[in-house]
Structure 1
């Protein structure tokens, strides 16, 4: 069982809140705002000009923060039909190589995105705010992804050293997933088992 330092726990809770709650609230807000925009345009006859730009701005933040949350849950795209069968040091070695490779790639993109935002010019036409507010979603999301990938790579390397990766790191990754995801997976597995038994009879 892990004994987290209070500061580490607070950082983890804060990052989770940013990645989970902020996109949810932004998505809810922009949905209501777009609905009002449709109502204002087609019912009231008074279109709201800034809604389109604001929707694009919010969508960028929702996508990048959502990508960071998916990375933290190890839900990024991958083909693990073979790797999922590995345990112990072989699994740790495979995860370490993949995590480090993606960590380097995303880290480079995060650095380039910071440079891009620092040199960005111009304002959004209707809202009148700097385009940096739109482009800033890139470095924030990519830096969070880099943080998670670095943590996962460290866990895999530590598992490679101890040889207990299948017991610790893999279970830790599974426990980080939402209850809904676990429930959906269990229901799917149960359904496959039922169909398999029916076919064999």
Structure 2
């Protein structure tokens, strides 16, 4: 299997990679998400091989929301993380934006030992306006260090809600607050990729 098989794009570091980062996109996005591109550039600048890849539903059609089964998307994440181990030595970091991060976190909860660090951008804690519909049933099985990068104006969960939910994760948790940012993590004053990658590097065991 190769990076092309998972519809991935690699950001190569200078020299031998320190490890591999595998990141995927949100429900309406793709591997071309500007946020993913910037985060992968940032990891590569720190000496990591960073890959942004399309989930199986996005490989089937170029636009639109997730179609088919989320379990199929999780199978695609398992394939990507299995491939990551063949690309370079060193730790594997996995994560993604919104839906992609949620599905990755479910894979990491189910398959202990696949990754060394989970990095989640705008985790969709609940649908907007429906705080009672939490998507946290698997948090108790996440044992690896986890970094949440989250905007303080994200309608899918407030910083306080993320903090409360993250207490269910037995592994170490770091929360990077992006003041004023919404679900896209856009910020005019903060370098979001740099903050997220610095937190990830510090959290690595």
TM-score class normalised by the smaller sequence: under 0.3
Q: Highest Rg: 1 or 2?
A: 1
Instruction: Report the structure, 1 or 2, having the larger strand content.
Output: 2
Which is bigger in relative contact order (C-alpha 8 A, separation at least 6)?
A: 1
The TM-score, its normalising length taken from structure 2, stands at 0.25
The TM-score, its normalising length taken from structure 1, stands at 0.25
